């Protein structure tokens, strides 16, 4: 059985057309649904957070989350990452939903500030954080600004969509992608949580020795929220391009951090909330 999607019997309901005009039509069939399961991330046995995610690339997700939270700054700050034997369902089989990280002495100590006491949902990346001001202080002071090519920006959603294999199956999963300044995909990850997808991309780049991402653009299939701009800024991305809207705090943070921020991006238009055009 696939770990990232499952089949359910669903009833499709449609309004009839032509000879069936005015009728409500139903059709029961199998449909593919994206898996959502919890991942508990621990450091040395201490639970840091539990996030609702789509299984897969969990090591990248954990590295990206730790990096965005400011606990680690290099891949060498993590010595081991392993699934715990206690991560089991009632049937006693390992579901790979508990990941324990061993941090090197070079990493920041795990203090109460880093512990999320409430679960992180698939919709929110800052749930449980004590205050927004604490996150603002984690963002590096200097990001090298870039001027955006409008044609490139408008092409990025389609380029991201071309890599979204799971979305084509389920229609219910977000994507994040790191693209070079010519629009070539470097890494694309999918997850039911937009912030998890971003963490997976950032974690991949960290493990590959490609952070800070000063010569890349982070592209999101979702809206541009504060936590996504914060994660992008922490990773050194000079620009974030989103398919949907930007929040007010996302715009303020992007402008303060010197990032370019585009939203409502389509093949023929976008809104530029921060940054400059070529």
> Is residue 10 in a domain?
no
Give the separation between CA 154 and CA 140, rounded to whole angstroms: 28
Could you tell me if 186 and 260 lie in one domain? yes
Could you tell me if 273 and 154 lie in one domain? yes
Q: Which of 76, 93, 128 is the last residue of a domain?
A: 128
Could you tell me if 104 and 167 lie in one domain? no
Asked if residue 269 belongs to a known ligand binding site, the reply is: yes
Asked if residue 266 belongs to a known ligand binding site, the reply is: yes
> Is residue 124 in a domain?
yes
* CATH, residue 106: 3.10.20.10
pLDDT at 141: 56
pLDDT at 124: 54
> Is residue 211 in a domain?
yes
Q: Work out how many domains the chain is built from and give that number.
A: 2
Could you tell me if 124 and 182 lie in one domain? no
> Is residue 23 in a domain?
no
pTM of the complete model:
0.84
Alpha helix stretches (DSSP H) within the chain: 58-69, 132-136, 150-161, 165-170, 194-207, 226-235, 248-257
Domain region containing 154: 147-277
Q: Which of 98, 128, 158 is the last residue of a domain?
A: 128
> Is residue 60 in a domain?
yes
The DSSP secondary-structure symbol of 5 reads: E
Could you tell me if 66 and 155 lie in one domain? no
Could you tell me if 112 and 220 lie in one domain? no
> Is residue 6 in a domain?
no
Asked if residue 194 belongs to a known ligand binding site, the reply is: no
pLDDT at 87: 47
Q: What is the DSSP string of 40-92?
A: EEEETTEEEEEEEE-SS-HHHHHHHHHHHHTS-SSGGGEEEEEE-TT-B-TTS
Integer angstrom CA distances of residue 35 from 83, 84, 219: 19, 21, 23
> Is residue 32 in a domain?
no
Could you tell me if 199 and 261 lie in one domain? yes
Q: What share of the chain is helix, strand, coil (3-state, %, to 5)?
A: 30, 35, 40
> Which tokens in the block code for residue 87?
């991560």
Could you tell me if 176 and 267 lie in one domain? yes
Q: Which of 128, 157, 174 is the last residue of a domain?
A: 128
pLDDT at 178: 98
Could you tell me if 188 and 105 lie in one domain? no
Asked if residue 167 belongs to a known ligand binding site, the reply is: no
Per-residue pLDDT of the chain (278 residues; tens, 9 = 90+): 567 888 888 787 888 888 998 897 888 888 888 888 889 999 988 899 998 999 999 999 999 999 998 899 999 999 999 998 654 454 454 558 899 999 999 888 887 666 664 455 555 555 544 444 555 566 665 688 899 999 999 999 999 999 998 888 888 899 999 999 999 999 999 999 999 999 999 999 999 999 999 999 999 999 998 889 999 999 999 999 999 999 888 888 888 889 999 999 999 999 999 998 98
Could you tell me if 272 and 152 lie in one domain? yes
Asked if residue 265 belongs to a known ligand binding site, the reply is: yes
> Is residue 28 in a domain?
no
Which of 41, 103, 124, 206 is flagged as catalytic? 124
Could you tell me if 153 and 262 lie in one domain? yes
* CATH, residue 273: 3.40.140.10
pLDDT at 132: 44
Three-class secondary structure of residue 26 per DSSP:
strand
Q: Residue 124 catalytic?
A: yes
Could you tell me if 122 and 227 lie in one domain? no
* 216 CB neighbour count, 10 Å cutoff: 26
């Amino acid at each position: 059985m696939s770990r990232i999607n499952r089949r359910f019997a669903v009833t499709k309901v449609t309004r009839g057309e032509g000879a069936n005009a005015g009728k409500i039509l139903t059709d029961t069939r199998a449909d593919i649904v994206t898996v959502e399961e919890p991942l508990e991330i621990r450091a040395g046995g201490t639970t840091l957070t539990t996030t609702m995610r789509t299984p897969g690339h969990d090591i990248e997700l954990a590295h990206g989350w730790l990096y965005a939270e400011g606990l680690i700054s290099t891949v060498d700050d993590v010595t081991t990452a392993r699934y715990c034997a206690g991560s089991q369902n009632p049937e006693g089989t390992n579901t790979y939903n508990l990941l324990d990280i061993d941090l090197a002495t070079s990493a920041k100590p795990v203090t109460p500030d880093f512990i999320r006491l409430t679960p992180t949902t698939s919709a929110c990346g800052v749930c449980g954080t004590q205050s927004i001001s604490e996150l603002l202080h984690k963002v590096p002071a200097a990001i090298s600004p870039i001027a955006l090519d409008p044609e490139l920006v408008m092409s990025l959603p389609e380029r991201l969509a071309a890599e979204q294999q799971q979305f084509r199956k389920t229609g219910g999963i977000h994507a994040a992608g790191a693209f070079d300044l010519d629009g070539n995909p470097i890494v694309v990850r999918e997850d039911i949580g937009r912030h998890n997808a971003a963490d997976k991309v950032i974690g991949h780049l960290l493990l590959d020795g490609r952070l800070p991402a000063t010569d890349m653009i982070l592209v999101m299939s979702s809206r541009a929220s504060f936590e996504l701009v914060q994660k992008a800024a922490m990773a050194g991305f000079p620009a974030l391009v989103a398919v949907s809207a930007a929040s007010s705090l996302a715009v303020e943070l992007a402008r303060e951090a010197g990032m370019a921020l585009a939203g409502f991006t389509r093949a023929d238009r976008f809104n530029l909330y921060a940054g400059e055009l070529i």
